[in-house]
Amino acid sequence: MRQRRFVGRALSLEALIPAMAKETCDGCGEQVKIAGGIANLWTLEHDATGGMTLEFDSDGTEHFLCFDCIERLPDDPNAEDVAALRES
Ligand SMILES: [Zn+2]
């Protein structure tokens, strides 16, 4: 998560994809931009994508979360931690 990778080709490919998809963050309920399609695999830059889907090891649940909420999750989070994000 904290590592930033720069992939030159991904940036130019980004320009070919005009439509940015939007997802609703499971934590704060914000609408979050996500890069569509294959570009998402290459660019995990915060600029290109505002969040990502995580599968928690602890309980196997999947949640789409913005990076702000991901930052606020404790180590080894579970579904209850996501629910708690909304209340704080
Ligand atoms: Zn959020």
Q: How far is the CA of 83 from the centre of ligand 1 (A)?
A: 11
Reported pTM:
0.64
Longest distance between any two alpha carbons in the chain, whole Å: 40
CA distances from 51 to 19, 69, 88 (A): 16, 9, 19
Q: How far is the CA of 34 from the centre of ligand 1 (A)?
A: 13
For residues 5 and 11, give the distance between their C-alpha atoms in angstroms, rounded to a whole number.
11
Rounded to the nearest angstrom, the gap between the alpha carbon of residue 9 and the centroid of all alpha carbons in its chain is: 21
Q: Which helix (H) or strand (E) holds 12?
A: helix 8-14
Span 8-63, pLDDT tens digits: 555 554 444 455 678 899 999 999 887 655 554 555 554 567 888 999 999 999 99
Per-chain residues with Cβ under 5 A from ion ligand 1: 25, 27-28, 66, 69
For residues 46 and 21, give the distance between their C-alpha atoms in angstroms, rounded to a whole number.
15
